[in-house]
């Protein structure tokens, strides 16, 4: 049976909000710390260029942008006949921590049970089947986050 690819969905270690909260906490603690915090704040106010440069440096060493650096796996969605299916590839680590070094390996050819739709279905019914499959994948990937920006996908079409 012919496989028709739909898209690849990234799977994240944690949510965007959690990541950026941890990043901001890291920056705050590193720049201002516990000791001499007020002195450093005064210095930062007087030297905004220094603060901006140092903050950018800390963002880079922490891990950069969430969208690209917190991915731990991908779900490759595809149609097979009148079913929505997805294969799953994941980073080959046993424990997922903040890291820029990843090597993805094939985990399973079927992350969640396939979702079928009628061959005579309209676009909204097929889209609903895709959404149902993605939700089933979310349940399978406990404490992992699948981020789907449907609007961005539509802009590419």
Give 133 or 38, the one with higher predicted confidence: 133
Query: Is pLDDT above 80 for 94?
Result: no
CB atoms within 10 A of CB 115: 19
Query: Is pLDDT above 90 for 151?
Result: no
The pLDDT tens digits of the residues spanning 105-135 come to: 788 888 899 999 998 888 889 989 999 999 9
Whole-angstrom distance, CA of residue 6 vs CA of residue 27: 39
3-state secondary structure 90-130: EECCCCCCCCCCCCEEEEECCCCCCEECCCCCCHHHHHHHH
């Amino acid at each position: 049976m012919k496989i028709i690819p739909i898209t690849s969905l990234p799977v994240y270690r944690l949510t965007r909000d959690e990541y950026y909260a941890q990043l901001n906490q890291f920056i705050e603690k590193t720049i201002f710390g516990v000791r001499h915090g007020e002195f450093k704040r005064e210095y930062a106010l007087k030297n905004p260029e220094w603060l901006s440069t140092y903050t950018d440096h800390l963002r880079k060493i922490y891990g950069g942008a969430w969208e690209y650096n917190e991915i731990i796996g991908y779900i490759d969605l595809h149609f097979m006949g009148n079913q929505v299916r997805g294969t799953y590839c994941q980073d080959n680590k046993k424990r997922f921590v903040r890291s820029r070094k990843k090597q993805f390996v094939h985990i399973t050819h079927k992350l969640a049970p396939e979702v079928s739709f009628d061959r005579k279905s309209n676009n909204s019914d097929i889209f609903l089947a895709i959404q149902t499959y993605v939700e089933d994948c979310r349940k399978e990937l406990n404490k992992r986050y699948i981020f789907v920006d449907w609007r961005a996908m539509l802009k590419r079409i």
